[in-house]
């Protein structure tokens, strides 16, 4: 069974939410990390996957895979999630 690009986009959004929950749960154990390391982890786990998910959502719409509403939802959710965490990384401490 072939997955659509829109479903992969939503999967990456869900994976990013899981990473956010795990990062929040284990943040106290990672208190000794430098700010540069924390920013690199945040970008790699909370900005890059939803960024890729947004691109997959756009590709889903350009390839006209059928359910365009999935692609639109994937684009919106992933873009908002990535921009929010990118803003935090750029303007925090």
Dump pLDDT digits (tens) for 43-92.
Answer: 999 999 999 999 999 999 898 887 888 889 999 999 999 999 999 888 87
Q: Answer whether residue 56 is part of any domain.
A: yes
Token readout for 18 is 């899981």
Q: Answer whether residue 25 is part of any domain.
A: no
Q: Answer whether residue 28 is part of any domain.
A: no
> DSSP string spanning 35-60?
HHHHHHHHHHHHTHHHHHHHHHHHHH
Q: Answer whether residue 40 is part of any domain.
A: yes
Q: Answer whether residue 51 is part of any domain.
A: yes
What range does the domain containing 67 cover? Answer: 5-19+33-91
Mean pLDDT of 12-24: 94
Residues 89/47, Cβ–Cβ less than 8 Å: yes
Q: Answer whether residue 78 is part of any domain.
A: yes
pLDDT of amino acid 93: 52
Residue 7 has pLDDT above 70, yes or no: yes
Q: Answer whether residue 39 is part of any domain.
A: yes
pLDDT category of residue 1 using cuts at 50, 70 and 90 = very low
Per the structure, how many domains does the chain have?
Answer: 1
pTM equals 0.87
């Amino acid at each position: 069974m072939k997955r659509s690009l829109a479903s992969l986009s939503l999967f990456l959004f869900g994976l990013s939410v899981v990473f956010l929950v795990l990062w929040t749960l284990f943040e106290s154990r990672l208190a000794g990390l430098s700010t540069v390391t924390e920013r690199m982890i945040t970008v790699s786990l909370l900005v890059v996957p939803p960024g890729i998910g947004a691109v997959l959502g756009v590709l889903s719409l350009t390839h006209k895979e059928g359910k365009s509403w999935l692609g639109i939802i994937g684009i919106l959710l992933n873009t908002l999630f990535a921009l929010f965490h990118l803003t935090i990384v750029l303007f925090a401490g």
